[in-house]
Amino acid sequence: MEHLRLIFWVFAISLMINVSFAKTLKRDVKALNEIKGLVGWRVVYTWVGDDPCGNGDLPRWSGVTCSRTVGNYSVVTKLEVFSMSIAGNFPMAVTNLLDLIVLDLHNNKLTGPIPPQIGKLKRLKSLNLRWNKLQHALPPEIGGLKSLTFLYLSFNNFKGKIPKELANLHELQYIHFQQNNLTDFIYTSYLGNDDLHVYRDAGNNHLVGSIIDLLRTEGCFPALRNLFLNNNYFTGGLPNKLANLTNLEILSLSYNNMTGAIPSALANISSLTYLHLDHNQFDGRIPDAFYKHPNLKDMYIEGNAFKTDAKAIGAHKVL
């Protein structure tokens, strides 16, 4: 028995040594060296040695996380190089890191488009490119990243339509698109996935249409908690179907061109905490149910044509 136990521990220790000294797959070494040559001194001084995953004498490269793969090689699974003032086009070599699960290049100075080759990263779960200067249309190839859960593209200069291929992302829960120049919305005629959009922020774009377009599919967005549609060009009224979003906590519709009365059904959403209706063209009376709502902390109503007895909830006043 002691003999078998000794053999087990020798094997376990040898396995740990092999893991510690597993070399990085040549494909990933080549890709990271190409990136290293493009991104400037801030990365160069933290990427030391010729093995990104670490070779026992030197630590792994900063922002690089590796996992053991088949054989005596490691693959790069996370690349998190953010707030490093990296400038220039999106580094194409990133798309050769085929085992990436997390790609985080946020808060840099990247320009140009997201290349269509992004679709090669089939294992990607989190893509964070916010706070850059990326441009052009979003590539439809993002819709091929079937494992994607987090998609953060806010605060860039993207334009054009949001690709319908995003409907293929059944694992997607978080989308941040705010502060771009997008001009068309993701309509629920092709986004009716029950698990989609725990959080959706599409504020500060140039989105058009009416809110009813968001609710074309019965039972859509049941898990949605925060809906930011402020600073766009939405018209029309608030549909009663909004009350079907029973988990909604924040509804921000500020600075649109919406009209009509506020439906009392909206007050039936017990979790509703923040309701921003300001700077539209709403009119009529605000139902009493909103003033009796147990959880509503803030209701912004200024800049509309409500009856004079309408009152804000919270610090805001009717203008």
pLDDT (tens digit, 9 = 90+) per residue, 226-249?
777 788 777 889 988 889 888 888
As a CATH number, domain 65-306 is 3.80.10.10
**pLDDT tens-digit map of 51-96:** 999 876 788 899 999 997 767 889 999 999 999 888 899 999 999 9
pLDDT at 216: 52
Q: Give the contacts of 311 (CB within 8 A, at least 6 positions apart).
A: 286, 291, 301, 318
pLDDT at 318: 43
**pLDDT tens-digit map of 122-181:** 999 999 999 999 999 999 999 999 999 888 888 898 888 878 787 677 777 777 787 888
Q: Give the contacts of 175 (CB within 8 A, at least 6 positions apart).
A: 151, 166, 197, 199, 200, 201, 202
**pLDDT tens-digit map of 169-213:** 777 777 778 788 877 654 443 343 333 344 566 667 776 666 666
Q: Is the pTM of this model over 0.75?
A: no
Q: What is the CA radius of gyration of the chain?
A: 25
